[in-house]
Amino acid sequence: MAIEKERLFPYILLIITCLLWGLAWAVGRLLAVQLPPISTAVIRYTIVVLLFFMILKSREKSISIPKEWLKPFFLMGLFSVALYQAFFLFGVKYTAASDASLVIGVGPVLIAFMAALFLKEKLTKEKVLGLILGFSGIAIISYFSPNISVENRFLGDLLVFGGALVYAIYTILLRDFQIKNRGRNPSSLLIIAWVSFLGWLIMVPFAFLEQPWNYTWTSDAWLEIAYLAIFSTVIAYWLYVEAVSRIGAGNSAIFLNLVPVFGVLSSAVILSEIISIWHLASFILVFAGVWIANRSR
Angle made by CA atoms 15, 107, 232, in degrees to the nearest 5? 40
**For position 21, what pLDDT does the model report?**
93
* φ, ψ dihedrals at 215, nearest 5°: -105, 160
Helix, strand, coil percent values for the chain (each to nearest 5): 85, 0, 15
Largest CA distance in the chain: 58
Q: Residue 218 above 90 pLDDT? A: yes
Is pLDDT larger for residue 111 or for residue 296?
111
**45 residue type, one letter:** Y
Distance CA 11, CA 28 (A): 26
- 61 vs 117, more confident: 61
Taking a C-beta distance cutoff of 8 angstroms, is the pair 106, 134 a contact? Answer: yes
pLDDT value at 114 more than 90: no
39, 207 in Cβ contact below 8 A? yes
Give the pLDDT band of residue 25 (cuts 50, 70, 90).
very high
Domain ranges of the chain: 15-294
pLDDT of 275 over the 80 cut: yes
Give yes or no for residue 14 having a pLDDT over 60. Answer: yes
How confident is the prediction for the chain on average, in pLDDT?
89
Q: What is the pTM of this model?
A: 0.89
Interval 177-190 mean pLDDT: 85
**CA atoms of 267 and 242, how far apart (whole Å):** 27
CA 217, 220, 221, 222 dihedral sign is positive
DSSP for 173-239 reads HHHHHHHHTTTT---HHHHHHHHHHHHHHHHHHHHHHT-GGGS---HHHHHHHHIIIIIIIIIHHHH
The pLDDT, as a whole number, for residue 126 is 82
